[in-house]
Amino acid sequence: MRRTSWWDARITGPFMSYWVYQHIGNLSPPELAEEELLRHVQGDADAGPRLRERARRWDRESAASRWAFYRDFGDTRLLVVDSRAARVLSDEQREMIDDEEWEWLIEHSRGDFDHLVIASTLPVFVASGIHHLEAWNEAICAERWGRTAARLAEQLRRAVDLEHWSAFNTSFERLCGWLRRIAEGTAAARPPATIVLLGGDVHNASVSRVDLGGQSGGSRVFQIVCSPFRNPLSSTERRVVRLTGSRGAALLFSLLARLAHVPTPSADWSFVHKPTFDNSIGELALDRRAARVTLRRSAREGEDAERLHALHVTELANER
For residue 285, what pLDDT is reported?
A: 96
For residue 142, what pLDDT is reported?
A: 94
Residue 70: CB atoms within 10 A of its CB come to 20
For residue 7, what pLDDT is reported?
A: 40
Half-sphere exposure of 3 (CA within 13 A, CB side): 2
**CATH classification for the domain delimited by 74-268, as one of 3.30.750.180, 3.90.220.20, 3.40.1190.20, 3.40.30.10:** 3.30.750.180
Stretches where the chain sits below pLDDT 70 are 1-15, 22, 58-66, 214-217, 228-230, 320
Report domain extents, the chain: 1-60, 74-268
pTM: predicted TM-score of the whole model, two decimal places: 0.83
In three state form, how does the secondary structure of 185-205 look?
CCCCCCCCCEEEEEECCCCCE
For residue 139, what pLDDT is reported?
A: 96
For residue 320, what pLDDT is reported?
A: 65
Residue/partner pairs of 294-300 with CB below 8 Å, 24 or more apart? 295/205, 295/207, 295/224, 295/226, 297/205
For residue 145, what pLDDT is reported?
A: 97
